[in-house]
Amino acid sequence: MRLSLVPENILERSALALNLAPGPLMSGMWGMGLTRTFLAGVRLGVFEAIGREKKNVEEIARLTNCDPRGMQTLLNALNGFRFLKRQSGLYWNRKTIVNWFLPSARFPMIEVVPFFYDLWDALGNLEDAVRTGTVQDFHRLGRPPELWDRYLRALAVFAQLASKEILWRVKLKGEPKRMLDVGGGHGIYSAAFCRKYPSLHSEILDLPDAVPVGTKLVSEQGMADRVTFREGDLRTAEWGSGYDVILIFNIIHNISAEAAREAIAKAHAALKPDGILMILESEHIGGDGDLSMVGGFNELFFFMITGAQAYPEERIRGWMSDAGSQTIQPRRLLSLPSAAVLSARRSAG
Contact 103, 48 (CB under 8 A): yes
CA distances from 58 to 65, 67, 69, 310 (A): 10, 9, 9, 46
pLDDT of 21 reads: 66
Count of C-beta atoms within a 10 Å radius of residue 13: 12
Give average pLDDT by consecutive 10-residue segment, the chain, 349 residues: 68 69 68 90 96 97 97 97 96 96 88 90 90 86 87 92 91 93 95 96 95 94 94 94 96 93 95 94 82 84 88 91 86 85 83
Strand partners, 201: 178
Q: How many angstroms from the chain centroid is the CA of residue 31?
A: 20
What span, in angstroms and rounded, lies between the C-alpha atoms of 268 and 16? 52
CA distances from 8 to 3, 13, 90, 92, 249 (A): 15, 7, 22, 21, 40
pLDDT of 3 reads: 65
pLDDT of 20 reads: 67
Q: What is the pTM of this model?
A: 0.89
pLDDT of 26 reads: 66
Q: Which residue type is seen at 290?
A: D
Contacts of 94 (CB under 8 A, 6+ apart): 82, 83, 84, 85
Count of C-beta atoms within a 10 Å radius of residue 235: 13
Q: Is the dihedral of CA 106, 171, 227, 236 positive or negative?
A: negative
pLDDT of 332 reads: 87
pLDDT of 80 reads: 94
Q: Write out the chain in H/E/C secondary structure.
A: CCCCCCCCCHHHHHHHHCCCCCHHHHHHHHHHHHHHHHHHHHHCCHHHHHCCCCEEHHHHHHHHCCCHHHHHHHHHHHHHCCCEEEECCEEEECHHHHHHCCCCCCCCCHHHHHHHHHHHHHCCCHHHHHHHCCCCCHHHCCCCHHHHHHHHHHHHHHHHHHHHHHHHHCCCCCCCCEEEEECCCCCHHHHHHHHHCCCCEEEEEECCCCHHHHHHHHHHCCCCCCEEEEECCCCCCCCCCCEEEEEEECCHHHCCHHHHHHHHHHHHHHEEEEEEEEEEEECCCCCCCCCCHHHHHHHHHHHHHHCCCCCCHHHHHHHHHHHCCEEEEEEECCCCCCEEEEEEECCCC
pLDDT of 201 reads: 97
Please choose, from the candidates 208, 226, 46, 53, the residue with its C-alpha nearest in 3D space to the C-alpha of residue 143: 208
For each of the domains in the chain, give its residue range(s) and CATH number, in order of start. Answer: 10-104 (1.10.10.10), 126-345 (3.40.50.150)
Count of C-beta atoms within a 10 Å radius of residue 56: 15
In this structure, the dihedral spanned by the alpha carbons of residues 27, 30, 33 and 36, taken in order and rounded to 10 degrees, is -40
